[in-house]
Structure 1
């Protein structure tokens, strides 16, 4: 929805939702992809798949590509941030003007996961083990992106993202 569009990605527990909320609080147009674009489906075909739960849900957490394309083609906002993770980001990542990858150390990740309720992703032992595996391997993270240290206070993380966006002539 912006003349400039940015993806804010990162593993589970890195702060994507918090960054989205802070960007909105500051008056920026920000889309929480995990809540507004995501569904359970086949990462290759996009076909919806019902009944996927537990650890398997992670592999099938994808965004509606057509909706991402439509939002990006709407130029009514100066800048739009798409925040969240999806297993099919390869189908639309080239549409963004930039990608920010939030990173935290394992200690910070574990502390954040410790605070999650058991009914939220990462609250169960098997989910947590997968999150820690993905944290080590980085296999679900875009390889080309600007790394942001998300262990810093939230305001500093968002300030750094906005500083880098302004350096490209936006925001």
Structure 2
């Protein structure tokens, strides 16, 4: 098992990618799940699917395990959302769920480019619904107010992990 592994989750527009970038800038090993681990698949079986959508956005469980077992980093942060987190959540020392209010969500959605998830009104409506009902994020996990400036959000996460502000 790796030294320490942390999952940073949240519905769309809560700042997972920004947190990932800020952790990397501070010298931490941070992985953007959308870029490194995600594919379209069945959340139960992991079988690849042609249907692209929110409900088929999953992570490669074997790759998550492999990365979580890598002992070369003092901490690894897995940032992003997946519909199959229940298949690998047990690998994490702590889980963080980023949360924002509706006004912040709407502001961030309005700034999304059309070629990014949440860039079209139908996607935005789904994101608003997920935000309203708590989304499909881990029920247990440390809630983080992600309306604060990104550096404060990262400071709070690192404090919960017992890590310094910079490696």
Band of TM-score, shorter chain? over 0.9
C-alpha distance in 2, partners of 1:76/1:117? 36
Aligned residue in 2 for 1:139: 135
Deviation at 1:74, TM superposition (A): 1.0
Could you tell me which of 102, 114, 127 is aligned with 2:110? 114
Question: What residue in structure 1 maps to residue 65 of structure 2?
Answer: 69
Cα offset for 1:119?
Answer: 1.4
**1:54-102 CA-partner distances (Å, limit 9, x unpaired):** xxx1000000000000111111111000000000000000110000000
TM-score w.r.t. length of structure 2 = 0.95
Distance in 1, matches of 2:135 and 2:116, equals: 22
Superposed structure 1 runs of 4+ greater than 2 Å apart:
none
RMSD of aligned Cα (Å): 1.2
| C-alpha distance in 2 between matches for 1:75 and 1:146 | 24
| 1:130 positional shift | 0.2
CA contact (8 A) 2:29 2:76 kept: yes
* TM-aligned CA deviation for residue 138 of structure 1: 1.3
In structure 1, list runs of 5 or more residues that go unmatched: none
Out of 76, 95, 100, the residue aligned to residue 96 of structure 2 is 100
Of 70, 79, 86, the match for 1:90: 86
**Partner residue, 1:45:** 45
**Could you tell me how far 1:2 is from its partner in structure 2?**
3.7
